[in-house]
């Protein structure tokens, strides 16, 4: 069922169905396989696939593989996996390269109709003669070539007779058009390169503009949805459809791309981050790629919900990164089981707890979900608490562990700090404490209150773990895409090598979200080794982003 009026594109689709202009809506998501998908693509995926779902139509996944020098099978595979992980399945899988023969035939038809010509100008000459926004372009000296000569040259281009860049096929439209896209755009260029699907069969490749609309038409796409940069290309998109015997008439609609604070969403930049080693790969958890977010522990439903909330508009804007984290936190709060983990351990010894003994206590797995059940945790004489939960000389409002203070250990007992043990350098290395056996479960029979409840783990039973705490990859709210290396946050990753976690965490499956109580949401990373798990912090418990 459709909520009418949710955004202007859905309104258009609804109107086209109501008027009978289309019996069924057909959309497509058309990535170029020149990198991994990022969160901006997720917006386009949710829009295209979402519309197909909501209106009972179809959505194709089409690889826009017209630029073989930048495209790889690895990217094709990753894109398919990412679309599926986001929760969508395509109606049909297509490749623009499947249409190369058809597109070529149509180009010959344009030549025969006197609507396209071979230009021998080099790139620089073409650029200069294209003019500017205020200066009309100049006709190419090759513009009036005969149809026969154009056809002959085009066929020889296809046959591979000429080197890269020697000549191009251009549409003959209008060199003085106010829209520069209509100033005789390039349809084909010579490229001797290996294509992931067609190998070396082709020596010429269609431009994005020439391939895109015709591919839409071949597939019967009704609404070809793209980002605002393509608004000025729409007259060209329509020109091809009007001048070629295409089997259907798609229409292009533009929406505002997703931009986020502290983030650069451009495959060129993301590729640079990977290639120059600023991150460990496309799936580095600091990357705004779908695979990075997945590895970081972001659930797909959180991503979809975030995209639903930001909506679809016609004007560009920048979304606060905190809004994304809010959606992640909300989803994880609902689903993530709770566990205890001590990121920076400080040993405490419970002096009045019998040596060599321990006991099993019961801990709740999810406070709002009884079905998640309980688990046993081990309490004993030696425990770890968080270094940050102790201060020898506390300020006034510090209610956690201090000399003489009593606090609650979650699911366990009240303990009191009796003595601080330091090393030769004067650093606190251990606390000597006592516990009150009458407070088992966390309440005192005499009604005595404590102001803090701390998480902890058993020293003997806990497992050592590496914890990776991520911060924003770029320091600036609006990083500079032209000099992204300079904007990298040197503190984007903090590795804690010797955290201590409940033993049950060592057996978790990769990817499963867990809340480390009082710390945030974490998931096990694929770098985990037997006996040495690695955890990624997905997001902290509170919004710590500068406002
Ligand atoms: P980039 O600019 O990051 O290199 P792209 O536009 O070249 O990306 P494509 O693979 O060509 O990437 O894009 C596939 C689809 O995703 C296109 O329809 C494009 O408009 C859309 N898309 C790309 N970036 C965004 C974004 N930031 N927000 C919304 N949609 C996007
Ligand atoms: Mg692109
Ligand atoms: Mg782009």
- Within a domain: 157: yes
Residue 42 marked in a binding site: yes
The complex's ipTM?
0.96
Give the C-alpha separation, 75 to 69, whole Å: 13
Asked if 492 and 535 sit in the same domain, the reply is: yes
Domain contains 1: no
Please tell me the distance from the alpha carbon of residue 410 to that of residue 442, in angstroms, as a whole number.
7
Tell me if 167 sits within 8 A of 122, measured CB to CB. Answer: no
| Residue 3: pLDDT band with limits 50, 70, 90 | low
Q: Whose CA is nearest to atom 16 of ligand 1?
A: 41
Which ligand sits closest to the CA of 259? Answer: 1
Given 454, 486, 519, which residue is the final one in a domain?
A: 454
Instruction: Kindly report the average pLDDT of the chain as a whole number.
Output: 95
385 and 507 fall within a common domain: no
Judge if the beta carbon of residue 319 lies within 6 A of ligand 1.
no
Q: What is the predicted pLDDT for the residue at 545? A: 46
User: Is residue 283 domain-shared with residue 357, that is, in the same domain?
Assistant: no
CA-to-CA distance for 223 and 345, rounded, in angstroms?
Answer: 57
Partnered with residue 516 across adjacent β-strands are 339, 520
Residues 206 and 298 both lie in one domain: no
Residue 512 — very low, low, confident or very high, per pLDDT cuts 50/70/90? confident
Among 432, 376, 375, 443, CA closest to 409: 443
Query: What CATH code is carried by the domain that includes residue 448?
Result: 2.40.240.10
Tell me the two tokens of residue 513.
Answer: 């979200």
Mean pLDDT confidence for 523-527: 95
**Contacts of range 361-370, beta carbons closer than 8 Å, 24 or more positions apart:** 361/411, 361/412, 361/440, 361/441, 362/411, 363/338, 363/410, 363/411, 364/338, 364/411, 365/337, 365/338, 366/336, 366/337, 366/338, 367/338, 368/334
- Asked if residue 460 belongs to a domain, the reply is no
Residues forming beta bridges with residue 171, ordered by sequence position? 116
Q: Do residue 86 and residue 29 come from a single domain? A: yes
Alpha carbon 198 to its chain's center: 29
| Whether residues 487 and 384 fall in one domain | no
Q: Is 259 annotated as a binding residue?
A: no
Q: Is 17 helix (H, G, I), strand (E, B) or coil?
A: helix
Shared domain for 356 and 314, answered yes or no, is no
Q: Which residue has the tokens 């330091």?
A: 422
**31-82: pLDDT as tens digits:** 999 999 999 999 999 999 999 999 999 999 999 999 999 999 999 999 999 9
- Say yes or no to pLDDT of 546 above 50: no
Lookup: tokens for 347: 């040993």
Judge whether 533 and 466 are in contact, CB under 8 Å.
yes
Q: Report the percentage of the chain scoring pLDDT > 90.
A: 95
Is 32 a known ligand-binding residue?
yes
User: pLDDT-derived band of residue 16, with 50, 70 and 90 as boundaries?
Assistant: very high
* Cβ < 5 A residues, ion ligand 2: 32
pLDDT, tens digit (0-9, with 9 covering 90-100), for 373-411: 999 999 999 999 999 999 999 999 999 999 999 999 999
What mean pLDDT is predicted for residues 145-150?
Answer: 98
Strand partners, 514: 337, 522
DSSP 8-class letter at 473: S
Query: What secondary structure, in 3-state letters, does 254-291 show?
Result: EECCCCECCCCCCHHHHHHHHHCCCCCCCCCCCCCEHH
Residue-wise pLDDT for 347-369, tens only, equals: 999 999 999 999 999 999 999 99
Ligand at minimal distance from the CA of 316 is: 1
155-211 pLDDT, tens digit each: 999 999 999 999 999 999 999 999 999 999 999 999 999 999 999 999 999 999 999
pTM above 0.80, yes or no: yes
Asked, for residue 480, whether it belongs to a domain, the answer is: yes
pLDDT for 447:
94
Looking at residue 368, what DSSP letter applies?
Answer: T
Q: Does the residue 459 lie in any domain? A: no
Contact (CB, 8 A) for 337 and 321: no
Q: Are 450 and 484 found together in one domain?
A: no
CA atoms within 13 A on the CB side of 54: 19
Most informative mutation of 41, 64, 79 for ligand 1 (most atoms within 8 A of CB): 41
Cβ atoms 481, 273 nearer than 8 A:
no
63 in a domain, yes or no? yes
Number of structural domains in the chain: 3
Q: Is the pLDDT of residue 4 over 90?
A: no
Does residue 431 come out as left (phi exceeding 0), alpha (psi in the -120 to 50 range) or beta?
beta
Strand order in the sheet with 463-470: 337-339, 513-516, 520-524, 534-539, 463-470, 493-501, 341-342
Q: How far is CA 541 from CA 238, 434, 502, in A?
A: 50, 30, 19
78 lies in a domain?
Answer: yes
Q: What is the pLDDT of residue 531?
A: 84
Nearest CA to ligand 1 atom 2: 266
pLDDT for position 519:
96
Cα angle, residue 515 at apex, residues 513 and 518 outer, rounded to 5° = 160
For the chain, give the number of residues: 547
Supply the Cα-derived Rg of the chain in whole angstroms: 31
Q: For residue 474, how many other CB atoms are within 10 A of its CB?
A: 20
Q: Ligand 1 pocket test: which of 28, 34, 39, 40 has the largest number of ligand atoms within 8 Å of its C-beta?
A: 40
pLDDT tens-digit profile of 493-503? 999 999 999 99
- In angstroms, rounded to a whole number, what is the distance separating the alpha carbons of residues 110 and 340? 69
The candidate with the shortest Cα–Cα distance to 408, out of 437, 438, 433, 443, is 443
Helix (H, G, I), strand (E, B) or coil at 120: coil
> Is residue 518 scored above 90 in pLDDT?
yes
Residue range 95-111: average pLDDT?
Answer: 98
Q: What is the CATH number of the domain that holds 120?
A: 3.40.50.620
Among residues 454, 482, 503, the one where a domain terminates is 454
How far is Cα 470 from Cα 467, in angstroms, rounded to an integer? Answer: 10
Cα 527 from chain centroid (whole Å) = 20
Q: What is the pLDDT of residue 1?
A: 38
Burial (CB count within 10 angstroms: exposed 0-12, middle 13-18, buried 19+), residue 119: buried
Q: Which atom of ligand 1 is nearest to the CA of 208?
A: 11
Q: Which residues of 432-471 are buried (b: 16+ CB within 10 A; e: fewer)?
A: ebbbbeebbeeeeeeeeebeebbbbbbbebbbebbbbbbb
Question: Annotated catalytic sites, by residue?
Answer: 32, 257, 267
CB 338 within 8 A of CB 366: yes
**Do residues 196 and 240 both lie within one domain?**
yes
Q: What average pLDDT does range 221-244 have in this prediction? A: 98
Residue 361, annotated as binding a ligand:
no
Residues 58 and 186 in one domain: yes
What is the whole-number distance in angstroms between the Cα of residue 44 and the centre of ligand 1? 8
**Where among 454, 481, 511 does a domain terminate?**
454
Q: How far is CA 486 from CA 172, 317, 532, in A?
A: 44, 24, 34
Query: Is the pLDDT reported for residue 136 higher than 90?
Result: yes
Same domain (yes/no): 127, 175: yes
* Contacts for 174 with CB less than 8 Å, ≥ 6 apart: 182, 183, 184
Domain co-membership, 379 together with 494: no
Show the tokens assigned to 135: 């200066």
Q: Is residue 320 in some structural domain? A: yes
Task: Convert the pLDDT of each residue in 276-301 to its tens digit.
Answer: 999 999 999 999 999 999 999 999 99
- Domain boundaries, position 69: 8-255
């Amino acid at each position: 069922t459709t909520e009418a009026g949710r955004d202007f594109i859905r309104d258009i689709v609804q109107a086209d169905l109501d008027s009978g202009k289309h019996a069924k809506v057909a959309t497509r998501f058309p990535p170029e396989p020149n990198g991994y998908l990022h969160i901006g693509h997720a917006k386009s995926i949710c829009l295209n696939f979402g519309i197909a779902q909501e209106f009972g139509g179809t959505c194709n996944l089409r690889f826009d593989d017209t630029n073989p020098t930048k495209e790889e099978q690895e990217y094709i595979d990753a894109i398919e996996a990412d679309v599926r992980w986001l929760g969508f399945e395509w109606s049909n899988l297509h490749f623009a390269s499947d249409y190369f023969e058809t597109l070529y035939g149509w180009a010959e038809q344009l030549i025969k109709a006197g609507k396209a010509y071979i230009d021998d100008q080099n790139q620089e000459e073409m650029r200069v003669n294209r003019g500017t926004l205020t200066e009309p372009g100049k006709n190419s000296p090759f513009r009036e070539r005969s149809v026969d000569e154009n056809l002959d040259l085009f066929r020889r281009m296809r046959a591979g007779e000429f080197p890269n860049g020697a000549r191009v096929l251009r549409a003959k439209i209008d060199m003085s058009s106010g829209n520069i896209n209509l100033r005789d755009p390039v349809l084909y260029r010579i490229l001797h390169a290996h294509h992931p699907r067609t190998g070396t069969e082709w020596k010429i490749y269609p431009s994005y503009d020439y391939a895109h609309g015709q591919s839409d038409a071949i597939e019967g796409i009704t609404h070809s949805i793209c980002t605002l940069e393509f608004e000025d290309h729409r007259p060209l998109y329509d020109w091809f459809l009007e001048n070629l015997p295409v089997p259907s008439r798609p229409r292009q609609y533009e929406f505002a791309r997703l931009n986020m604070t502290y983030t650069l969403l451009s495959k060129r930049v993301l590729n640079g981050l990977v290639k120059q080693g600023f991150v460990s790969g496309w799936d580095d958890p600091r990357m705004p790629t779908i695979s990075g977010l997945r590895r970081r522990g972001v659930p797909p439903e959180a991503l979809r919900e975030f995209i639903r909330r930001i909506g679809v508009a016609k004007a560009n804007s920048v979304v606060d990164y905190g809004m994304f984290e809010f959606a992640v936190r909300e989803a994880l709060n609902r689903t993530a089981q709770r566990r205890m983990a001590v990121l920076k351990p400080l040993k405490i010894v419970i002096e009045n707890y019998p040596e060599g003994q321990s006991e099993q206590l019961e801990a709740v797995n999810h406070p709002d979900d009884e079905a998640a059940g309980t688990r046993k945790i081990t309490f004993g004489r030696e425990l770890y608490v968080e270094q940050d939960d102790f201060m020898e000389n506390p300020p006034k409002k510090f209610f956690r562990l201090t000399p003489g203070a009593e606090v609650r250990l979650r699911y366990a007992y009240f303990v009191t700090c009796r003595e601080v043990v330091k090393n030769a350098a004067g650093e606190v290395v251990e606390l000597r404490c006592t516990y009150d056996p009458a407070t088992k479960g966390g309440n005192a029979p005499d009604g005595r209150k404590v102001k803090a409840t701390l998480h902890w783990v058993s020293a003997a039973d806990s497992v050592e773990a590496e914890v990776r705490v991520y911060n924003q990859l770029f320091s600036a709210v609006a990083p500079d895409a032209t000099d992204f290396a300079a904007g990298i946050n040197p503190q984007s990753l903090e590795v804690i090598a010797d955290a201590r976690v409940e033993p049950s965490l060592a057996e978790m499956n990769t990817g499963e979200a867990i809340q480390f109580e009082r710390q945030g949401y974490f998931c096990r990373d694929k770098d985990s080794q037997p006996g040495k798990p690695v955890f990624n912090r997905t997001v902290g418990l509170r919004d710590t982003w500068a406002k």
